[in-house]
């Protein structure tokens, strides 16, 4: 078996690929600049992982795969090229990796991790034993990747750096198309065109599953050829194939509803009860249901198993309740995601005082989607804004965090520059029956880590 080396192995995408390859018997090595849970998971699975990038790390490799965040001048990339070892991006490698599988790909600006996780759970629970790669840990399974014995490969189709153009899916789900990643896609049009390219790679006879509630997704139906299938799901279209009706919040703060299925002139209705909160998760469940139904699984079984779904890591991920304070991690870093998550929190926990602690992610996203962010926090009671997590970007000379904070449409918003200051503020002001919701795609998850430890050590307030 080949020896494959990954540069950036601690990221969600490459760590998942590495895990699958290890289970298939490949020799896997990799490097990253920082340690993380996923970095450690690859090590535990048998990979040889190294902190820091050095030329000698590629020794013995037959192939090198690099993260989108790794530049051409990286020392390991250059060492591989000098040694005439092929260097591929993730998108280039995935096409080879999935060649013999039935590919179920889930794309979209929001909801793709949860929808992919739901689909993975359904197929796993109903004994199809799929292979999968997800951009977050599937809570029911405790992992973000697996090499299964079944015919299906379920994959979260990431648009960043056009990764999903490397896929030729049999099933393509698109949850929504709303401008994001302005560092790669400077305009809404360029972002939409990326999804058009993804749809054009759908196999002959393949199925495109679109959310009818999203205009950007719905526009993609015109790209289908006569020998491809269209499936539409949502709330409001009576002619759509899968429709959710009669939504009610249940005792788990999730949603009870009915699915109306209208296929080939035959209509049926069945109940479903979700544990995960929010109307956006009802739509995610509809998408997963539609694919599983299309694969021929029993509808009652699909509904039952979806009712067991416990969510995905860092997607309204409830860590627990400490001294009466519910602590929640969330990866939301787009205005729509923040707004929908806060709405779900408000609907599911109407008596709690909701703290929204937000670490903006990248200057390009914060400035491009500025107006959207400023209107996203209405459902919170208190809003705390940290400094921007820059990731790969430099701070623009004209960027001022005070301009952002003063423009947020909320009466109780304040800025604290860093994690330590936010922790000190929360230690002083958190009260029983509060809900602490930290929004971060950066390192601010440390806030919840520290608050959890602090509250756990307290005898009371």
| Residues designated catalytic | 112-113, 156
List of long-range contacts for 21-29, beta carbons under 8 Å, 24+ apart: 21/97, 21/147, 22/46, 22/47, 23/146, 23/147, 24/147, 25/1, 26/1, 26/2, 27/1, 27/2, 27/3, 27/60, 28/3, 28/4, 29/3, 29/4, 29/5, 29/57, 29/58, 29/60, 29/61
- Neighbour-count burial for 281-295, b at 16+ CB within 10 Å, e otherwise: bbbbbbbbbbbbbbb
Closest CA to 240 of 219, 263, 222: 263
Cα gap 170→227, rounded to integer Å: 12
The single residue listed with the structure tokens 């699909």 is 302
Ramachandran angles phi, psi of 338, nearest 5°: -65, -45
Q: Is the dihedral of CA 289, 293, 295, 301 positive or negative?
A: positive
The single residue listed with the structure tokens 């060649």 is 99
Cα gap 199→393, rounded to integer Å: 30
Query: Can you read off the two tokens belonging to residue 406?
Result: 């003063």
Answer whether 85's CB lies under 8 Å from 61's CB: yes
User: Residue 206 has what DSSP assignment?
Assistant: -
Q: Say how many Å lie between the first and final Cα of the chain, rounded.
A: 58
Counting runs of H as helices and runs of E as strands, what totals does the chain give?
15, 21
């Amino acid at each position: 078996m080949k020896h494959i080396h990954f540069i950036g192995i601690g990221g969600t995408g490459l760590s998942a690929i590495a895990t699958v390859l290890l289970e298939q018997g490949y020799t896997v090595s990799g490097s990253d600049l920082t340690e993380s849970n996923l970095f450690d998971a690859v090590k535990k699975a048998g990979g040889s992982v190294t902190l820091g990038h050095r030329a000698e790390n590629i020794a013995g490799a037959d192939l090198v795969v690099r993260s989108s965040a790794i530049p051409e001048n990286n020392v390991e990339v250059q060492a591989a090229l000098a040694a005439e070892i092929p260097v591929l991006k993730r998108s280039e490698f995935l096409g080879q990796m999935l060649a013999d599988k039935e590919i179920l790909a889930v794309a979209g600006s929001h909801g793709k991790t949860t929808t992919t996780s739901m689909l993975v759970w359904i197929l796993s629970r109903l004994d199809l034993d799929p292979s999968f790669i997800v951009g977050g840990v599937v809570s029911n399974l405790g992992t973000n990747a697996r090499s299964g014995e079944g015919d299906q490969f379920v994959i979260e189709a990431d648009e960043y750096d056009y990764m999903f153009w490397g896929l030729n899916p049999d099933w393509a789900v698109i949850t929504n198309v709303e401008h994001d990643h302005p560092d790669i896609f400077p305009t809404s049009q360029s972002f939409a065109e990326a999804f058009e390219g993804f749809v054009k790679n759908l196999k002959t006879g393949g199925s495109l599953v679109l959310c009818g509630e999203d205009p950007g997704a719905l526009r993609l139906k015109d790209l289908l050829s006569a020998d491809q299938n269209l499936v539409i799901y949502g709330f409001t279209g009576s002619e759509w194939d899968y429709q959710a009706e009669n939504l009610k919040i249940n005792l788990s703060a999730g949603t009870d509803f009915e699915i109306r299925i209208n296929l080939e002139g035959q209509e049926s209705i069945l109940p479903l009860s979700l544990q995960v909160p929010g109307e956006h998760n009802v739509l995610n469940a509809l998408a997963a249901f539609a694919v599983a139904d299309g694969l021929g699984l029993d509808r009652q079984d699909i509904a039952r198993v979806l009712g067991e779904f416990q969510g995905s890591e860092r997607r309204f991920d409830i860590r627990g309740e400490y001294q009466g304070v519910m602590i929640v991690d969330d990866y939301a870093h787009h205005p729509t995601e923040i707004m929908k998550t806060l709405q779900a929190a408000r609907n599911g926990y109407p008596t709690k005082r909701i703290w929204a602690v937000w670490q903006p992610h990248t200057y390009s996203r914060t400035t491009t989607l500025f107006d959207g962010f400023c209107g996203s926090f209405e459902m919170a009671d208190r809003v705390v804004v940290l400094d921007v997590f820059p990731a790969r970007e430099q701070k623009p000379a004209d960027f001022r965090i005070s301009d952002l904070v003063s423009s947020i449409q909320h009466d109780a918003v304040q800025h604290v520059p860093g994690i330590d200051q936010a922790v000190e503020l929360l230690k002083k002001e958190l009260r029983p029956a509060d809900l602490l919701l930290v929004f971060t795609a950066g390192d601010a998850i440390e806030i919840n880590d520290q608050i959890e430890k602090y509250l756990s050590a307290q005898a009371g307030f």
